[in-house]
Amino acid sequence: MQSKKSITSLFLFTLSQMNWRTKSNSSIMTLPSAAICTLYDLEVGTAQSKYFGCGRFGGECVFAPRPNGKAEDDGWVLTYIHDAVEKRSELLVLDAQNIIAEPVARVILPQRVPFGFHCAWVCSEELATAKTRRS
């Protein structure tokens, strides 16, 4: 499947490590402020913005593809959130096809994740291949 999408973060200005790597981008994701994540569809000209909430600040967003997904955006967007009010961090899991919907999951973390923490998604097959190469 040829992909036409990429997620980028203006806040951290990094290209995510997902299978949406091409020269022609049909959508981008930005973090214009640490409190909002926006997905732009460049082909249709639309945007979806996810507001994390008052006192809640996100980090770098990454894409985790659904195994055997049918569409290029079939998967999840992952980001660490720091909640300054609750004084805790969490991993927020969003549906990549509808980031404004309620989160798919929230994982409360036992300690704070620092601002600017970089993320990456590595599927089990890629991890196994990397381990084999190192052996």
Binding site residues for Fe cation, as ranges?
Answer: 118
The DSSP output letter for 123 is -
State the Cα–Cα distance between residues 52 and 86, nearest whole angstrom.
13
User: Residue 61 contacts by C-beta under 8 Å, 6 or more apart in sequence?
Assistant: 7, 9, 16, 29, 31, 37, 77, 78, 79, 119
> What phi, psi does 124 have (nearest 5°)?
-60, -35
- With beta carbons less than 8 A apart as the criterion, state whether 42 and 25 touch: yes
> Tell me, what DSSP letter sits at residue 53?
-
Binding-site residue ranges: 118
